[in-house]
Chain A
C-alpha cells in the first residue's frame, strides 16, 4: 500500500469536525510524509536571538533527519547551516549550544568561517578549491527576537508572517531579553496530538489546577472564533491598544499563525500561584501598562507563546518519531533581572512546569488509547474545540495538495 495515496484517500474522505484516522497518529510512513511535506517545507521556530548573544554563539537543532546549526557571525547576522561537514558529512557542532571562534569539524579540523565559508582544510591535494565546499546554508529569518528556519529549497515568503506578527511582539523586546530557564520534555505522542491538546482549554479544569488559578478557560481566549463578540476581550483589546500594544485577534488567511491578547483572571498579572508578578522587573522597558494579560501567538507547526508583563514563556514543538515529540519551554525575563533578587526561579517556572507535565500525561494517555484497534475518529466539541478543528483543517489543507502534487496520480481528486 502506498502511504502517500493512502494518506490522501483518508484526508479526502475524513469527516469534518472529527479527529483523524489512527495512522495519522501512529504510522511511521505517515510520519515520514509529515516530515517531508510539512516539517521540511515550512518555516520553523528554533530559538531566540538572545540565545546567540555574540559573534560565534551557536545553537544546534535536529529536525527529523536534518542536523542544523544557527550561528551569529562577525557582522552580528544570524545564519543557519546544515550541520554537516562538506568533507565527509560529520556533524560540525556536536553540542546543544556554545561559542566558537570558527566552526571547526572535530573529525579532521576543516575550519569554517561563521558565515559558512570553508577557510582551511588540512593537506588537501593541489587544486582543491575551498570555495566549492562552504557549509550549506538554510533559510533563516529573525523576527522580533524569534528565529525561524526553513529547510525547503524554495521557502515560502516570510514577509507576510513578519508583517503581521512583528507589531505585536516588538514592544516586548524579546530580542534583548534573557532565557532564565529552559526545559525539554519528550511526550510519547504524535506531534499533532501535542498541538490538538494545546489548541483547547476544554481539558484545563480537570487537569491544570495551577494554570487555572490565573488563565481563563473560555474558548474565546484559546480558540479561533467568537473573541470579537466577547465584551471582555473587546474591552481588553481597547485598553491595551490605547497603551500602544497591538492586541486584536488576527489570523493569517491560511490559518498557520495567529496573535491575540487576553486578560488573565481577576487581577492576576502573571502565571504564578498567587497571580502576582514572578519577576520584579518588567520584561520590556517599553511596556509598563497595568494588567496587559497575555499576548498569545502560535505558528504551526512549531510554536505557541505567552508574553506577560514580567516574563514570557515560549514553546517549541519538534517531532522525534510517529509517537514521540519533544517540547522545549523557555522562560524569558529582562536581561538585567537577577535570579534570587528579582525573581525566584522555582516560582517563575512552577505553573508551566506542572502544566507541561500534566499535558504530557494527557497526550500520552491519548496516544495509548488511539493505538487501540477499536479507535475511530471522534467528534470535537464545536463549542470548546474550535481551535482543534482549525488546527486539523490547517494540517489537511497544507499536506493534502502537497501529497497530490508529489505522488502518483491520486485515486481521487481533492474535494
Chain B
C-alpha cells in the first residue's frame, strides 16, 4: 500500500519538529553481527534538518519505564526524507536489545533532536581524517555519505578499527564509495582473524606506529574520532604525543567518559539455535597477590587484574605514562603501547598492563 503523501517536494513540507512529531520505523536491516540499521520517517510528512554527524535521543517504551538512548545518525541530511541509526547490541545492553526485539516497520518512537556539534560542517577543512572503532563508524558514515552526495572530490581518509573482519560495519558500502570518490582513502584494521572472512590488511590495535601507516599525512588533516572511550583516549594520546595541533581534533562523546566497565566473561551467543563454543579464556597468575585469574578474549592484563581483585596502579590507560608497568615472569603478550615503556624494559620482561593482551598463559609479578 503506497502512501500518496510520500510524493512531495521538499518545499511542500515543513522540517521535522521533535515536539510535534514522532518517528515511524520504515526499515530494519542487518549490517554486521549484532548490528542493525533502523530507518525512520516522520509520522507526519516532514523532512529532517540536521548536520551530518549529529545524534538523536530515542525514548524507548520499555516495560520498566521509558529508556532514553542517544544514537548518532548514520544517515545523511543530503537525503532529507528519512533518518537512520545503526546500532550494535553489546553484551548486557538493555535499550538496544529492546530495539532489536521490538522495533518493526510501522512502530512509533518518540525522539529528541537531532543535535550535537560533532560535524564537519562545524569544522570546515581542506582534508579530513575520520577515525573510528566499532559502531563509532556511524557519524563518520553520515559525514561520508554527505560528502559523496555534495562534495565527492573531497580529500578524506577513513580509518575504521574492528575486532574481526566480518564486524566492519558498512564495509561493502565503503568499498563502493571508494570507487566513487577519487579523494577517499580507506584503511581498516582488525584485532583478530576469524574463520568467516579472509583478511590481508592491517592487524592489531591502532598505535603510534600504525596510525602513520594508515594515514601518513594525518598531521595535515582535520581529525574526527569516535569509538569506545579507551579507543578515543588512545587516539587522543598518540596524536597529542606526536605534536598534532589538538585544535584540529574532535571526538564524539555523549557524556563525560564513564568508568570503563570491566567486561564479564560472556556467554556464547546462540546463532541459529546452535551454541558456539566459548573462546578459551587465558589463565593469568598474579604471583605477588597469589591470585589465579582468567583473561577472556579481548581483555587486557589490567582489566583481568581488576576483575580478579588484583590492584595494579594505572593512570592514563593508553600506554603512555608507564604507571602500570609490571614484570612478566612467563608467557607472551601482545602489547600496543604509546611510548610508555623502553625497549630494554621490554627486553627485561616488563609490560604495560593497560595495553597488553595475553598470547599464552601468563605469570605476572603483581
What residues of B have a CB within 8 angstroms of the CB of A120 in the complex? 237, 240, 315-316, 320-321
Q: Check: A104 CB closer than 8 A to any chain B CB.
A: yes
Distance to closest chain B CB from A407 (angstroms): 44
Q: Check: A101 CB closer than 8 A to any chain B CB.
A: yes
Q: Check if A99 sits within 8 Å of B342, measured CB to CB.
A: yes
What residues of B have a CB within 8 angstroms of the CB of A113 in the complex? 241
What residues of A have a CB within 8 angstroms of the CB of B320 in the complex? 102, 111, 119-120
Distance to closest chain B CB from A91 (angstroms): 17
Distance to closest chain A CB from B133 (angstroms): 20
Q: Check if B322 sits within 8 Å of A102, measured CB to CB.
A: yes
Q: Check if B322 sits within 8 Å of A101, measured CB to CB.
A: yes
Question: Which residues 80-126 of A have a CB within 8 angstroms of B?
Answer: 99-102, 104, 108-109, 111, 113, 117, 119-120, 122
Bound CA–CA A113/B321 (angstroms) = 10
Question: Which residues 12-46 of A have a CB within 8 angstroms of B?
Answer: none
Which of B243, B321, B345 is most buried by chain A, counting CB atoms within 10 A of its CB?
Answer: B321
Known: A119-B241, A120-B315, A122-B316. A104 touches B342 (CB 8 A): no
Q: Check if A102 sits within 8 Å of B340, measured CB to CB.
A: yes
Known: A119-B241, A120-B237, A120-B316. A102 touches B321 (CB 8 A): yes
What residues of B have a CB within 8 angstroms of the CB of A119 in the complex? 237, 240-241, 320-321
Which of A99, A101, A104 is most buried by chain B, counting CB atoms within 10 A of its CB?
Answer: A101
Q: Check: B339 CB closer than 8 A to any chain A CB.
A: yes
**Scoring B residues 61 to 96 as 1 if CB is less than 8 Å from chain A, else 0, what string do you get?**
000000000000000000000000000000000000
Known: A109-B323, A119-B320, A120-B315. A101 touches B237 (CB 8 A): no
What residues of B have a CB within 8 angstroms of the CB of A203 in the complex? none
Q: Check if B342 sits within 8 Å of A101, measured CB to CB.
A: yes
Q: Check: A77 CB closer than 8 A to any chain B CB.
A: no
What residues of A have a CB within 8 angstroms of the CB of B243 in the complex? 117
Bound CA–CA A104/B323 (angstroms) = 8
Known: A120-B237, A120-B315, A122-B315. A109 touches B342 (CB 8 A): no
Bound CA–CA A111/B339 (angstroms) = 11
Question: Which residues 262-287 of A have a CB within 8 angstroms of B?
Answer: none
Distance to closest chain B CB from A69 (angstroms): 16
Q: Check: B19 CB closer than 8 A to any chain A CB.
A: no
Distance to closest chain B CB from A177 (angstroms): 21
Bound CA–CA A122/B314 (angstroms) = 10
Known: A102-B321, A119-B240, A119-B241. A56 touches B316 (CB 8 A): no
Q: Check if B237 sits within 8 Å of A102, measured CB to CB.
A: no
Q: Check: A130 CB closer than 8 A to any chain B CB.
A: yes
Distance to closest chain B CB from A387 (angstroms): 45
- Considering the complex, give the chain A residue whose CB is closest to the CB of B345: A101
Question: Which residues 286-323 of B have a CB within 8 angstroms of A?
Answer: 315-316, 320-323
A-B contact count (CB 8 A): 46
- Considering the complex, give the chain A residue whose CB is closest to the CB of B240: A119
Known: A111-B321, A119-B237, A119-B241. A99 touches B316 (CB 8 A): no
Q: Check: B366 CB closer than 8 A to any chain A CB.
A: no
Q: Check if B341 sits within 8 Å of A101, measured CB to CB.
A: yes
Distance to closest chain A CB from B320 (angstroms): 5
What residues of B have a CB within 8 angstroms of the CB of A130 in the complex? 240
Distance to closest chain A CB from B363 (angstroms): 23
Bound CA–CA A130/B240 (angstroms) = 10
Distance to closest chain A CB from B10 (angstroms): 38
Q: Check: B196 CB closer than 8 A to any chain A CB.
A: no
Distance to closest chain B CB from A133 (angstroms): 13
- Considering the complex, give the chain B residue whose CB is closest to the CB of A113: B241
Q: Check: B9 CB closer than 8 A to any chain A CB.
A: no
Bound CA–CA A99/B341 (angstroms) = 10
What residues of B have a CB within 8 angstroms of the CB of A117 in the complex? 243
Q: Check if B241 sits within 8 Å of A56, measured CB to CB.
A: no
Question: Which residues 174-223 of B have a CB within 8 angstroms of A?
Answer: none
Bound CA–CA A285/B240 (angstroms) = 43
Distance to closest chain A CB from B283 (angstroms): 29
Bound CA–CA A298/B237 (angstroms) = 46
Q: Check: B344 CB closer than 8 A to any chain A CB.
A: yes
**Scoring A residues 314 to 345 as 1 if CB is less than 8 Å from chain B, else 0, what string do you get?**
00000000000000000000000000000000
What residues of A have a CB within 8 angstroms of the CB of B322 in the complex? 100-102, 104, 111
What residues of A have a CB within 8 angstroms of the CB of B339 in the complex? 101-102
What residues of B have a CB within 8 angstroms of the CB of A111 in the complex? 315-316, 320-322, 340
Distance to closest chain B CB from A297 (angstroms): 34
Bound CA–CA A115/B253 (angstroms) = 31
Bound CA–CA A99/B342 (angstroms) = 8
- Considering the complex, give the chain A residue whose CB is closest to the CB of B337: A101
What residues of A have a CB within 8 angstroms of the CB of B240 in the complex? 119-120, 130
What residues of B have a CB within 8 angstroms of the CB of A109 in the complex? 315-316, 321, 323
What residues of B have a CB within 8 angstroms of the CB of A99 in the complex? 342, 344
What residues of B have a CB within 8 angstroms of the CB of A122 in the complex? 315-316
- Considering the complex, give the chain A residue whose CB is closest to the CB of B236: A120
What residues of B have a CB within 8 angstroms of the CB of A104 in the complex? 321-323
What residues of A have a CB within 8 angstroms of the CB of B321 in the complex? 102, 104, 109, 111, 119-120
Distance to closest chain A CB from B222 (angstroms): 19
Bound CA–CA A117/B242 (angstroms) = 11
Distance to closest chain A CB from B317 (angstroms): 9
Which of A99, A104, A130 is most buried by chain B, counting CB atoms within 10 A of its CB?
Answer: A104
What residues of A have a CB within 8 angstroms of the CB of B237 in the complex? 119-120
Distance to closest chain B CB from A121 (angstroms): 9
- Considering the complex, give the chain A residue whose CB is closest to the CB of B342: A101
Bound CA–CA A109/B342 (angstroms) = 17
Question: Which residues 328-344 of B have a CB within 8 angstroms of A?
Answer: 339-342, 344
What residues of A have a CB within 8 angstroms of the CB of B345 in the complex? 101
Distance to closest chain B CB from A58 (angstroms): 12
Q: Check if B340 sits within 8 Å of A101, measured CB to CB.
A: yes
- Considering the complex, give the chain A residue whose CB is closest to the CB of B315: A109
**Scoring A residues 218 to 233 as 1 if CB is less than 8 Å from chain B, else 0, what string do you get?**
0000000000000000
- Considering the complex, give the chain A residue whose CB is closest to the CB of B245: A131
Distance to closest chain B CB from A404 (angstroms): 45
What residues of A have a CB within 8 angstroms of the CB of B340 in the complex? 101-102, 111
Bound CA–CA A41/B316 (angstroms) = 38
Distance to closest chain A CB from B87 (angstroms): 27
14 contacts between A and B (CB under 8 A): A100-B342, A101-B339, A101-B345, A102-B320, A102-B322, A102-B339, A108-B315, A111-B315, A111-B316, A111-B321, A111-B340, A119-B241, A120-B315, A122-B315
Q: A-contacting residues of B (Cβ < 8 Å)?
A: 237, 240-241, 243, 315-316, 320-323, 339-342, 344-345
> 9 additional contacts, CB 8 Å, given A104-B321, A111-B321?
A101-B322, A101-B339, A109-B315, A109-B321, A111-B315, A111-B320, A119-B237, A120-B240, A120-B316
